[in-house]
Structure 1
Amino acid sequence: MERRTYLKTGAGVLAGGLVAGCTGGGSSGQSGDGESTTESGGSTESTTQAETTESVVPETVVIGSDIPYRPFEYETTSGELTGFDVDIAAAIFEDQLGVDYEFKPTSFDSIIPSLNNNNFRIIMSAMTINETRDEKVDFSDPYFTAYQTVIVRDDGEITSKADLEGRPVGVQKGTTGAGAAEELQEEFDGNLELNRYDQISGAFQALINGQVDAVINDNTVNAEFANQRDDVVFLEGEGAAAESDQEAPPYLTLTIENYGIAFREDDDAFLERVNEALAAIKENGTYDEIYSEYFAG
């Protein structure tokens, strides 16, 4: 799992960052999502078979992802791309399917249209499976369970969900955290101020600066931020997990969600191969090893 690279935005970098493929006697080119295309001429049975295989699994899988979103995808201080989604991608594509992968940074609120515009082959970006998104993309089998949670400043006045009424709350645009905040806004008859940010780091900074009183976001990402600071804590209280008789974490949970890998709706064969690979890494223990590295305890 040494390959942790990503594509800078821009068509020129995308084209230059992919490995050119050759699937037979003719010269070959490459499409925007890393698939090889073979010009006509010199067709043989082996070439046809290779082209069929290539049409299912590209030799380089380009992955749209909102970066940074620690601990799922983020850069280290040395510029290395790492994270839970990155390691899962390595296990699925390199270890199981024997192909390369590249991450392409993409704003989360436009990531599904970008997928459907063929800017990349799949989305791996801590994306929750829900009905609204399922109308536009197809999802892999779930690979992670998360909760929408609330973090606040430790020295603030907010100690319960009710205390959020009338307060400014930070969320990331296009996320289910924003959706959970909107539901809470309805619960408060509109008396909740929502401040939306392009990236979750903007919401976190607004919390520290006192521009918002809370941030609503995925539990693991909130925890990654809160664990680095002494002045940020989870808002406590029972919520969706306890109400569903699940083993609830020791903080307020607004929703229960499952993450999936998103595919274009015409990509059934590739989705099936990825589901098989995902099942394999769960069966052979690789998934548990990666999970423990990022979410131990």
Structure 2
Amino acid sequence: MDRRSYIKSGAGVIAGGLIAGCAGSDSGSDSTATTTEASSETDASMETDTATATAESVVPSNVVIGSDIPYRPFEYETTSGELTGFDVDIAQAVFEEQLGVSYEFKPTSFDSIIPSLNNGNFRIIMSAMTINETRDEKVDFSDPYFTAYQTIITRADSSISSRADLEGSVVGVQKGTTGANAAEELQSEFDGNIELNQYDQITGAFSALKNGQVNAVINDNTVNAEFANQEDNIEFVEGEGVAAESDQDAPPYLTLTIENYGIAFRQDDTEFLEEVNEALTTIKDNGTYDEIYSEYFSG
């Protein structure tokens, strides 16, 4: 029974008992018993409603997800306007299939996405977001669900063929990303002799590279690969990097960093985070994760 209607009927029972008492009935003890029973049932109903509200606060019936779109192949729209991508499919597996709730993505600029989360504009962030110490001071992260590397792409006719060749060049990055951080570190290493052009979305940096407005783009390897595979004159800068130095199964191009993606939560959302971690573990154990991965990435 709905809490509101239950309280109404409970109040009617109490009122009836009071009228009987005022009429001088010998059933005073029965009236007291009826009132006590009604009060107990009301308390039980309120406890049930509180439990329901708590469950709803832990795992909402609809999860609103902040995400920087487009960021192919993690989240992007098809030509028909349908949202798809690796993060989108992982969200479906975690929320719809494991937790039994609906979900929706809310497009948000990446450089303001953490403040937007903490302002309550959405419940979580799924946006190919790297776990790092700076972000960890503002949000809590799920267990890692993807490993990525910062990489460099250039035009095929470029004279840039190594990390050192970036000195004196113009590099495109997306604002607020670890690609921008990696470029800033190179800028410091080369005593400021790198010009950084920062764009609201990575597509702006890619367009600038094609049009000759920047000499290179520093960004996540899989996103760079998606762009390079679509463009005949775009290629990775090759060479060994931190992935090879760390004895990892390094990709065949230069890697500037090794990073892990996580789902970001507000710092007071621990119970929901734990539920999501359990769901992530399940989809990794039952093969769902591997199926999704193989759809978007080779190897």
User: TM-score range with shorter-chain normalisation?
Assistant: 0.7 to 0.9
Tell me how large the CA RMSD over aligned residues is: 1.5
Of 123, 141, 144 in structure 2, the residue corresponding to residue 142 of structure 1 is 144
% identical equivalent positions: 80
Runs (5+) with no aligned partner, structure 1: 1-22, 28-40
1:176 Cα offset (Å): 0.1
1:24 Cα offset (Å): 4.6
1:43 Cα offset (Å): 4.3
Once residues 176 and 197 of structure 1 are traced to their aligned partners in structure 2, the CA distance between those partners, rounded to angstroms, is 13
Q: Deviations over 1:200-224 (max 9, x none)?
A: 0000000000000000000000000
Matches within 5 A, 1:95-106: 95-106=97-108
Runs (5+) with no aligned partner, structure 2: 6-42
Matches within 5 A, 1:49-198: 49-198=51-200
Q: Deviations over 1:262-284 (max 9, x none)?
A: 00000000000000000000010
Q: Letter of the aligned partner of 1:286 in structure 2?
A: T
1:48 Cα offset (Å): 2.4
Richer in helix (by share):
2
TM-score of the two chains, using structure 2 as the length reference: 0.85
1:42 Cα offset (Å): 9.8
8 Å CA contact retained: 1:124, 1:262:
yes
Relative to structure 1, the CA distance from residue 263 to residue 24 in structure 2 (aligned partners, 3 Å threshold; closer, same or farther) is farther
Matches within 5 A, 1:194-213: 194-213=196-215
Determine the structure 2 residue equivalent to 1:25: 3
Relative to structure 1, the CA distance from residue 26 to residue 210 in structure 2 (aligned partners, 3 Å threshold; closer, same or farther) is farther
How many residue pairs get matched? 262
Q: Deviations over 1:102-141 (max 9, x none)?
A: 1000000000000000000000000000000000000000
Q: Deviations over 1:113-170 (max 9, x none)?
A: 0000000000000000000000000000000000000000001111111111110000
Once residues 104 and 172 of structure 1 are traced to their aligned partners in structure 2, the CA distance between those partners, rounded to angstroms, is 19
Helix, strand or coil: the match of 1:103? Answer: strand
Once residues 24 and 85 of structure 1 are traced to their aligned partners in structure 2, the CA distance between those partners, rounded to angstroms, is 38
> Which deviates more from structure 2 when the two are superposed, residues 115-124 or residues 240-249?
240-249
1:25 Cα offset (Å): 3.3
Q: Letter of the aligned partner of 1:98 in structure 2?
A: G
